[in-house]
């Protein structure tokens, strides 16, 4: 996906209240407050003074026109917008990066399933079982070359794994897609020390037949594009 219009460079002052950030625009020197489309911890991606890139929308519908999209960290550019991974996962499917997902002729978004959830992507074909696909955003790295999820405890993520396992038990196909919004990794793993419950349920889901894939992206100031599948260390 391309950023159009082009993103605006700035320097991060702070990110706070999960939804907000303050920054100084590089071109004008103006200090602005903007919205942060990521309610997670963003561990390692909030250092004051970091160079960041912002989108801007002047349609009057947003309280804060500027939105936090990218940050330079660890010598690379990282996407932080958690509203993008589903779209990027669709691009990865269309490009044939995820198993045989592209062979399913029908793709639906945000379909109700389980107890109280909506599946991110539901793939269907007349000659096989439906495929339920849950997409998770990943941007956390502690060890060079190894992307990790989650970066904090996630009860919602645990629930999703359980619901995918239930779909497999009901005769369907189910998969986790970990969409990594950075390109400086060659593998992916579950951060079991940060959320041991999620790690245990992940292992149970894999044993139950849930599939898992990790896709890294090429991220530049101009675009984010799914690039390649990477190995999952826990499997």
Mean pLDDT, to the nearest integer, of 132-157?
Answer: 96
Separation of CA 109 from chain center: 16
The domain boundary residue, chosen from 31, 47, 78: 78
Q: Where among 58, 78, 98 does a domain terminate?
A: 78
Are residues 69 and 23 part of one domain? yes
Domain tally for the chain?
Answer: 2
Go through 172-183 and write b for each residue having 16 or more CB atoms within 10 A of its CB, e for each that does not. bbbbbbbbbbbb
Phi, psi (degrees; rounded to nearest 5) at 140:
-105, 130
The pLDDT of residue 162 is: 96
Q: Residue 83 in 3-state DSSP?
A: coil
209 in the same domain as 137: yes
In a domain, 211, yes or no: yes
Mean pLDDT, rounded, of the chain: 95
Least confident of 29-43, 110-124, 189-203: 110-124
- Picking from 78, 112, 133, the residue at the C-terminal end of a domain is 78
pLDDT at 98: 96
Pairing relation of β-strands 20-25 and 31-35? antiparallel
Q: Answer whether 48's CB lies under 8 Å from 85's CB.
A: no
Rounded to whole angstroms, the Cα distance separating 87 from 133 reads 13
Q: Look at residue 60 in the predicted model and tell me its pLDDT.
A: 75
Task: Give the mean model confidence (pLDDT) for residues 62-76.
Answer: 95
Residue 235 reports pLDDT greater than 70: no
Residue 122 lies in a domain: yes
Model pTM above 0.85: yes
């Amino acid at each position: 996906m391309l950023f159009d219009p082009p993103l605006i460079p700035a320097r991060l002052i702070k990110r706070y209240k999960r939804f907000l950030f303050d920054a100084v625009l590089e071109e004008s020197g103006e200090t602005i407050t903007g919205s942060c489309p990521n309610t997670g911890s963003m561990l390692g991606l909030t250092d004051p003074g970091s160079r960041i890139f912002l989108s801007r929308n002047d349609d009057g519908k947003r309280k804060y026109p500027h939105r936090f999209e990218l940050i330079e960290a660890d010598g690379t550019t990282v996407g932080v917008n958690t509203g993008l991974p589903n779209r990027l996962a669709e691009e990865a499917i269309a490009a044939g990066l995820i198993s045989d997902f592209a062979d399913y002729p029908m793709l639906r978004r945000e379909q109700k399933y389980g107890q109280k959830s909506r599946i991110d992507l539901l793939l269907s074909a007349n000659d096989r079982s439906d495929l339920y696909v849950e997409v998770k955003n990943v941007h956390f790295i502690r060890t060079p070359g190894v992307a990790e999820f989650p970066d904090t405890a996630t009860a919602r993520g645990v629930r999703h794994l359980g619901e995918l396992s239930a779909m497999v038990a009901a005769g369907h196909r189910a998969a986790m897609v970990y969409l990594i919004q950075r390109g400086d990794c060659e593998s992916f793993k579950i951060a079991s020390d940060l959320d041991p419950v999620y790690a245990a349920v992940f292992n149970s889901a894999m044993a139950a037949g849930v599939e898992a894939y990790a896709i890294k992206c090429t991220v530049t100031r101009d675009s984010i594009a799914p690039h390649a599948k990477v190995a999952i260390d826990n499997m």
